[in-house]
Amino acid sequence: MPAHTDRVHVPPAQDARRGVLLMVASAAWFALMAAIAKRWLPDTPPQAVVLSRGLLMSTVLVVLARRRRVPIVGRQRAMLVVRGLLGYGALSCYFWSVQQLPLGDAVLLQYAHPIFVAALAPWLLAERTSRGHWLVVSIAVLGVGLVVGPSGELRGAAVIALCGAMCSGLAYLAIRKLSATEHPLTIMVWFPLLTVPGSLVGAWLGGVDSIPRNGAEVTAHVAVALTALGGQITLTRGLARVDAARGTAATMTGPVFGVLFGLLLFGTVPSPTSLIGMLVVGACAVRLAQGKQSPAPTPLPLPADAPRD
């Protein structure tokens, strides 16, 4: 086994920009996933969607991991479990808040997760966050607010929505930390696997409504899983290349893609205010891609026979 070095590896600027672009791509995948669920699974209990997504994603990722001889168990097993449970908590809180709050409020609160990441990354990952980054994130939050048009009538359900945002932020920090020791496939497998037990109970409580009624709904479940898979792949690879604060801030482009998919699938024409917000968020994403990269987690040496990525 090669000797371990204390030297901190700093990815080149080009690789960091690629990481930001991958995070933007993940936001697009997840926005498409939500649009598909809203368009073709409007009456399906959210936990049933989480269950089918978890089962299908787990099957695909386990097969890929076995074919590429990637270890599923991983090195940091406790952290992998934490990442999976945080992801399930974030999904559940988000779906629930969408049902209880106006859509704009739920989306805006969910996309507060970069604030949690920027606040916690210096403590949990030793990644410095500059004052300029806070300014860009604050402007991006305002841009998201213009896009989604929150009502401002935040009730007790907003606490659940904020818990979901915090779970998302902590999950992203966990992925960033795991990327130093784990193969991307190992990280990705654990998330859908750990969503299955809880969503299985939720789907069972949902009764017959949880069962697809026709071929169109079966196709929609598959499409949700495939788009979620695309989002997880780009998310995990992106956080391996760019520091957590910048990477998660780039995902605030999600509502912009949501507006675009709303136009394509539902014919919803964005308002002038939404268009201004989209330009603001887009400008912030470009600024994040040009920013200074923080040191990446120091990777541990892999065994000689482990697959490289």
pLDDT tens profile 283-294:
988 888 776 655
pLDDT tens profile 5-64:
333 344 456 788 899 999 999 999 998 998 898 889 988 999 999 999 999 999 999 999
Q: Which long-range contacts (CB under 8 A, 24 or more apart) does 266-269 make?
A: 266/39
Confidence of residue 270 (pLDDT cuts 50, 70, 90): confident
* Residue 26 amino acid letter: S
- d(CA 101, CA 155) in angstroms, rounded, equals 8
218 and 212 Cβ atoms separated by less than 8 Å: yes
Confidence of residue 269 (pLDDT cuts 50, 70, 90): confident
More confident residue, 297 or 59: 59
Q: Would the pLDDT of 130 be above 80?
A: no
How confident is the model at residue 78, as a pLDDT? 95
Q: Which long-range contacts (CB under 8 A, 24 or more apart) does 157-161 make?
A: 157/96, 157/97, 157/100, 157/101, 158/97, 158/101, 158/105, 158/109, 160/93, 160/96, 160/97, 160/100, 161/93, 161/94, 161/97, 161/101, 161/105, 161/106, 161/109, 161/110
Largest Cα separation within the chain, whole Å, is 59
pLDDT tens profile 172-218:
999 999 998 999 999 999 999 999 999 999 999 999 999 999 999 99
What three-state secondary structure class fits 305? coil
* Percentage with pLDDT > 90 across the chain: 48
pLDDT tens profile 67-94:
999 999 899 999 999 999 999 999 989 8
Q: How far is CA 221 from CA 38, 187, 246, in A?
A: 11, 23, 32
- Sorted by where each begins, the domain ranges of the chain are 13-290
Q: Would the pLDDT of 157 be above 90?
A: no
How confident is the model at residue 81, as a pLDDT? 96
Cα torsion angle, 190, 17, 170, 111, sign: negative
Q: Count the residues in the chain.
A: 309
* Percentage with pLDDT > 70 across the chain: 88
How confident is the model at residue 64, as a pLDDT? 95
Once rounded to an integer, what is the mean pLDDT over residues 223-249? 93
Average confidence score pLDDT of the chain: 85
How confident is the model at residue 290, as a pLDDT? 72
